[in-house]
Copies of this chain bind each other. A is one copy, B any other.
Amino acid sequence: MVNDEVILLDFWPSMFGMRLRIALAEKEVKYEYKEEDLWNKSTLLLEMNPIHKKVPVLIHNGKPICESIIGVEYIEEVWKDKTPLLPSDPYERAQARFWADYINKRLFDLGKKIWSTKGEEQEAAKNDFIECLKILEGALGEKPYFGGDNFGFVDIALIGYYSWFYAYETYGSFSIEAECPKLVAWAKRCMQRDSVANSLPDQHKVCEFVSVARQKLGIE
């Protein structure tokens, strides 16, 4: 893998892009980061992800891998000798995939509703969001990481949202730490890893980004 060319088409506040940044960092893969402008997508992005036209896209030796969780599995399979991200036991692997899928199905849409809607719709989204986080907190249990003693797949799937917590709290007027103290303790634990700390943006910067997005959507 010495002559590998790895490119990441990404957008800095993307919690999906963060997954690939973290996985690549865990595997110590060198790559070229290319920032996309989502309001003016590059020809390369449209060529590499013609179906969804979304970031992130991992491009390995000219071939695109789309959808962040699929990209994390790909990274795990290609650079398999370094820092396993998934457990080896099939049942534990299925459980890890289940929680990553649960995160994918629920958190993004609910989180977006918290900062982009008002009134009853926002209140319902906030309650559902907290309910999801509590379910995830239950799945974490007393373990340091979702997979047990080692940082891995579900941690990677979820931790990017932590950089959005302050924005959700600001526009939703609530405290995630008050609702889910163990989950926030887990997030802080993850943030002690260089792979995570170097891949997540500052939460205040994300909050400013959300403020600009609200203006573009005509909410502010």
Please list the residues of chain A having a beta carbon within 8 angstroms of any beta carbon in chain B.
51, 60, 63, 65-67, 70-71, 73-74, 77-78, 90-91, 93-94, 97-98, 101-102, 135
Contact = CB atoms under 8 A, between A and B. Distances in A.
Contact of A63 (B51, B63, B91): B91
The list of the 6 closest CB pairs from A to B, nearest first, reads A77-B90, A74-B94, A70-B97, A65-B94, A78-B90, A70-B94
Given A51-B102, A102-B51, A91 B74 contact: yes
Contacts of A135: 51
Given A70-B97, A70-B101, A73-B97, 8 more contacts: A51-B102, A66-B98, A67-B98, A67-B101, A70-B94, A71-B94, A73-B94, A78-B90
B98 A70 contact: yes
A93 B77 contact: yes
Contacts of A78: 90
Nearest to A106: B51
26 contacts: A51-B102, A51-B135, A60-B91, A63-B91, A65-B91, A65-B94, A65-B98, A66-B98, A67-B97, A67-B98, A67-B101, A70-B94, A70-B97, A70-B98, A70-B101, A71-B94, A73-B93, A73-B94, A73-B97, A74-B90, A74-B91, A74-B93, A74-B94, A77-B90, A77-B93, A78-B90
A22 to B, nearest CB: 18
Most B CB within 10 A of own CB, among A63, A77, A78, A94: A94
A78 B135 CA distance: 28
Contacts of A66: 98
A50 to B, nearest CB: 9
A35 B74 CA distance: 36
Contacts of A74: 90-91, 93-94
Contacts of A73: 93-94, 97
Nearest to A132: B51
A65 B73 CA distance: 19
A6 to B, nearest CB: 13
Contacts of A94: 65, 70-71, 73-74
